[in-house]
Amino acid sequence: MRKSVKVFVLPLLLGCLLALSSAHAQSDYPRQPIKMVVGFASGGISDVLARAIAAKMSNTIGQTVFVENRPGAGTTIAGDLVAKAVPDGYTIWLQDITSHAINASLYPKLPYDSVKDFTPIALVASTPLMLVVHPSSSARSVKELAALMKSQPGKFSYGSSGNGTILHLAGEMFKTSQGLDVVHIPYKGSSPATQAILANDVSFVFSTMPPAVGNAKAGRLRALAVTTPKRVTAAPDTPTMGEAGVANFEVVLYSGILGPKGMDPAIVRKLNAEFAKVIASEEIRRVYENLGAEPITETPEAFAGMLQKEIAKLAPVVKTSGAKIE
């Protein structure tokens, strides 16, 4: 009789100890500053988002959250650093989910697995691209732009921030969906691509929001559509690609927080709740509005599902584009 009691009680005690350990990890965390890695140089949209969020979160979580820029190799340097970090919640990565998903197909050999080597923590923002043309263009809608491209196959071009970037893939998606014969001109970053469309050196660009919105409002560019399913606060009069007549066209730069694999679920839940609190604040909402970003929150599980969905969605686009990084 006593043996059966021991057999029953032992796993119960072990379960209680594990629960207490997890609860202690959540209540005791964080005990030191948290490093938020960004895979881009200072000044870009990811860097601006990270610094705003980190500053606000430092005031709410009880420890300093600081940004460490690790640019280069299409964010894979940052990814490798985080993948190999201790999974204690003190090294996290604010990354662009589409860039993360693109790299899974773009690079034949990555030093990490894009899914298995990370712990999804929280989604924090969604940002569309904006399809823009020079004001001198005769195209005043997406349909007119497609018709113009079709009228003289091979004559027109579009710019991007480089081979395999989201701007490139958006251009390829548009090209394929409309059956266009247009030339891709890759630039070394989004800033040179913006300068190219401002100079009318290319026919169109799927631009990131900050330069597109500012230049469109100033009359230096003409906005034709945004790539999100719904219109965005920063450009309420600009239609979505769906409204403009291009079905099933969605390109969204989801920014999210990842950690190394093996993080304590209690710490993940705490961080998820803290990020949700931060992006709901008025200060962060104002930052988002200036960037053309939209706040978004999801559970870690939903974020994990979105990662896998984006990898599957973008893999054939990467293949069709022909973009490769050796």
Task: Report the number of distinct structural domains present in the chain.
Answer: 2
At 270, give phi and psi (nearest 5°). Answer: -65, -45
In this prediction, residue 50 carries a pLDDT of 95
Rounded average pLDDT over 205-233:
94
- Do residues 117 and 134 share a domain? no
pLDDT band at 1 (very low <50, low <70, confident <90, very high): very low
Distances (CA, A) of 180 to 125, 155, 158, 224, 321: 32, 11, 11, 17, 13
DSSP 45-57: HHHHHHHHHHHHH
Tell me the C-alpha distance between 295 and 192, whole Å: 28
- Do residues 272 and 198 share a domain? no
- Do residues 207 and 196 share a domain? yes
- Do residues 79 and 140 share a domain? no
120 domain-assigned: yes
Tell me the C-alpha distance between 47 and 43, whole Å: 6
- Residue 217 reports pLDDT greater than 80: yes
Helix (H) / strand (E) containing 69: strand 65-69
pLDDT band at 27 (very low <50, low <70, confident <90, very high): low
- Do residues 143 and 207 share a domain? yes
- Residue 6 reports pLDDT greater than 70: no
Domain boundary among 226, 242, 267: 226
pLDDT digits (tens, 9 = 90+) for 34-75: 999 999 888 888 899 999 999 999 999 999 999 999 988 888
- Residue 4 reports pLDDT greater than 50: no
Helix (H) / strand (E) containing 266: helix 265-279
Give the count of beta carbons closer than 10 Å to the beta carbon of residue 214.
15
- Do residues 123 and 142 share a domain? no
257 domain-assigned: yes
22 domain-assigned: no
Cα separation of the two ends of the chain: 67
pLDDT digits (tens, 9 = 90+) for 239-265: 999 999 999 999 988 999 999 999 999
Q: Is the peptide bond before 87 cis (omega within 30 degrees of 0)?
A: no
CATH code at position 256: 3.40.190.150
Helix (H, G, I), strand (E, B) or coil at 227: coil
25 domain-assigned: no
- Do residues 103 and 156 share a domain? no
Tell me the C-alpha distance between 184 and 46, whole Å: 25
pLDDT digits (tens, 9 = 90+) for 137-185: 999 999 999 999 999 999 999 999 888 889 999 999 999 999 999 999 9
pLDDT band at 318 (very low <50, low <70, confident <90, very high): confident
Q: Which residues pair with 133 in a beta bridge?
A: 222
- Residue 317 reports pLDDT greater than 60: yes
- Do residues 105 and 141 share a domain? no
Domain boundary among 164, 191, 226: 226
Give the count of beta carbons closer than 10 Å to the beta carbon of residue 240.
19
pLDDT band at 12 (very low <50, low <70, confident <90, very high): low
pLDDT digits (tens, 9 = 90+) for 263-315: 999 999 999 999 999 999 999 999 998 888 889 999 999 999 999 999 998 89
- Domain of residue 198 covers 128-226
In this prediction, residue 5 carries a pLDDT of 47
Distances (CA, A) of 240 to 71, 135, 216: 31, 19, 16
Tell me the C-alpha distance between 81 and 10, whole Å: 40
